Structure 1
Amino acid sequence: MTNRPEIIAIDGGGTRCRVACLRSGKRTLIEVSSANASTDLAGTIEQVNKGLALLAERLSLTTGDLAQIPAFVGLAGMVGPEIRQAIADGIHLSHARIEDDRPAAVRGALGREDGAIAHCGTGSFFAVQQDGAIRLSGGWGPILGDEASAQWLGRKALLAALDVADGLRPPSPLAEALLREHGSTAGIVSFAASATPARFGELAPKVTKAAQSEDPLALKLLKHGADHIARTLTDMGWTSPLPICLTGGLAPRYEQFLPHDMRSAIAPAKGEPIDGALSLAQDLRREMSA
C-alpha cells in the first residue's frame, strides 16, 4: 500500500508511551499510558498494541497494514532476552528492533555527536557517547537502581519524613507536609506498600517546589541526587568540556547542585527520545533495504 508509513517508532517509559510514524515526511504521534516491561509486562504489551491500533485508526489503516513496516521499539524495563522475546511475541509488528529505552534517548538528545546524558524521569540512566561508541549505566529499575530519578526522589522524601517522625532528622516544612497529607506514619507506609514508580514520582515536584523555598530537607535530597549524577558521569569517563544533556522532567532541577565544570558543560538536548526512536527506525529501514 502506497499510503503506509515508511517507519514506526515507539518510546515507552514509566510515565507515558509514545507511538509515532513517518509517512511522506509527515509525523503522526499517538500517546498512551506508561509502559515498563519489567514491572508490568502484560500492561506494556497492551499499551503498545493500543498505541498501534490508535495509530492505524488515525491513518485510516489497519494494524495488519502496519505489521510489515520497519519499527524501532524502545521500552523501559527491557532487562533481558526473555522480556524482549515476550514483547516480540505480543506486539503486532513483524520487523521490529526491540531495545530498552536508553538508545533512543541518547540518539534523541545527542544525535551522533559526542556528549553525555543524565536522564532523570520516572526512572534514570546515564550515558557517554564518544567516537560513535555509547557507554550506558543505570536504568535497573526502582528496587536496584534509578538513583536521582523522580521515583527515587519521592521515595527518599517519604523515608526522610519517617526519620523526622522518629526524631532522627530536624523538622522541615516538606516532611511535615508529607506526614500531614498521608495522615500519619502508618499512612506513608501504607502508600509505599502499593505505590508504583509513577506514583512515587508524583511526589518529586513537591520536593523541587520546597527547595525553591529553601526547605533544608528538600535541598539536601536534591544535593544527594546531584552528587550521584556527578559521581556516575565522572566514573563513566566524562571530562570537561564534553557536553552534558540533562534530560527527563527532573534532571534540570539538579543543575544548580552540580560541580562548576559540569554546569559549564550543560547543553540543550537536540530532541526527545521519540525523535531518537524515529532516527533508529530509519537506520533499521536502511539496513533492511541494503
Structure 2
Amino acid sequence: MDDSRHIPVIGIDGGGTRCRVALDDGRGRHVVETGSANASTDLAGTVRQVAEGLAALGQAAGWAVDDLVRLPAFVGLAGVTGPAIAEALRAALPLVHARIDDDRPAALRGVLGRRDGALAHCGTGSFFALQAGGGMRIVGGWGSVLGDEASAQWIGRRALAGALDRADGLAAPSPLSDALLSEFGGTAGIVAFAATATPAAFGALAPRVTDRAGQGDALARAVMQAGARHVAETLATLGWTPGRALCLTGGIGPHFAPFLPADMEAAIVPPEGQPLDGALSLARDFAREIAHERD
C-alpha cells in the first residue's frame, strides 16, 4: 500500500510577482506568500524569499523550520533556465530533499491535475505544454526577444507593426490602426515608443486588441488569428490530439478560443487548480519516489 500521500510535503511556486510556500501534511494545507522570486534576475533575492517563506510557514503551521526543511519539496521558480541555476539554488536553499525546476511544470500539473491534455499559457509571456502518459513536454517561455509568441507583449507589438503597415498602404486602415497612429503621434511616435518599451508596456496594449477583435476590427482580428495559428500549430507539434483536454490560461490565453480550430475550441476545459496545487502534487510524486527508494 502506498502511504506516501500521508507524508507531509512542501510546494513552492515563485515568479516575478510573488512566491508562495505551502505545506500539505495530508490533512490540510498551510500557505504563506512572500515577494518576487526570479532565479535568473536575482538569485540571492530568490533564496531570501524562499527562506523567509519557510520561516513564516513554520510559524503559521506550528512546525519548527528545522523539521520543515527535511520534508520532500518541489520548488518551481521563474528563471530556472537550466541545470546550473538549479544547482546554485540547491546549494543555497536550506531544503534537504528538493526537486528544483522552473515554474512551468507546476502550472501544467496545477491546471490539468493528472489528466492527459495541453496548456497554452499566454500572459505577458507565453509557453505551451503537453501532459500525457505521466510525462510532460514543455516549450517556449524564452522571453520577449527570442520567443513568447501569442503573449500579451507579442500582441501589442503585432498591433503596432500592423498600424505601420497600414500607414504604408500595405493594408486597409482599421479603427484600431487609426487609433494607434493618432495616440502615438504617427509612425515616428510608434517607432520611438517601440525602441524603449518594456514587455509590460507592449502588453498593456493587448486588451485593446482583444476588445477590438470582438468588434470585428480587421487589424485586431488578424493579430488574434496569427496568435491562434501559433497556439494551434505548437500544440499539434507537441502531440495534442482532438478529445484531449486543453486549458487556456493567462490574461490573453482565453481570448484565443474563438480563433482556434473547432476541435481545439471544443476541447477547452476550465483549470482544475492553480500552480501551487501543481507544486504540491509534484512534491507528492517526489515523496513517493523517495519512499520507493527506501523500500
Please report the TM-score for the alignment, with normalisation by the length of structure 2.
0.81
Matched ranges for 1:106-255 at <5 A: 106-179=108-181, 182=184, 188-189=190-191, 191-255=193-257
The farther-off stretch of 22-31 and 72-81 is 22-31
Q: Using a 3 Å threshold, how does the CA distance of structure 1 residues 53 and 173 change in structure 2: closer, same or farther?
A: farther
Q: Using a 3 Å threshold, how does the CA distance of structure 1 residues 115 and 30 change in structure 2: closer, same or farther?
A: same
Partners of 2:34 and 2:111 in 1: CA distance: 22
| 1:142-185 C-alpha deviation (Å, 9 max, x unpaired) | 22222112232233233334444555454434344445555665
Q: Using a 3 Å threshold, how does the CA distance of structure 1 residues 39 and 183 change in structure 2: closer, same or farther?
A: farther
Task: Show the counterpart of 1:278.
Answer: 280
Task: Show the counterpart of 2:4.
Answer: none
The farther-off stretch of 73-82 and 217-226 is 73-82
Identity of aligned residues (%): 59
Q: Using a 3 Å threshold, how does the CA distance of structure 1 residues 167 and 130 change in structure 2: closer, same or farther?
A: same
Superposed displacement of residue 51, structure 1: 4.0
Equivalent position SS for 1:144: coil
| Structure 2: segments with no counterpart, 5+ residues | 1-6
The farther-off stretch of 224-233 and 146-155 is 146-155
| Structure 1: segments with no counterpart, 5+ residues | none
> May I ask how many residue pairs the two structures share in their alignment?
286
State yes or no: 1:26 paired with 2:28.
Answer: yes
Superposed displacement of residue 10, structure 1: 1.7
| 1:201-229 C-alpha deviation (Å, 9 max, x unpaired) | 33322222222232222211111111011
Pairwise CA RMSD: 3.1
Task: Show the counterpart of 1:100.
Answer: 102
The farther-off stretch of 25-34 and 135-144 is 25-34
Superposed displacement of residue 38, structure 1: 3.8
| 1:101-137 C-alpha deviation (Å, 9 max, x unpaired) | 2221221122222222222223222222222232222
The farther-off stretch of 176-185 and 226-235 is 176-185
Q: Which amino acid aligns with 1:216?
A: A
Please report the TM-score for the alignment, with normalisation by the length of structure 1.
0.82
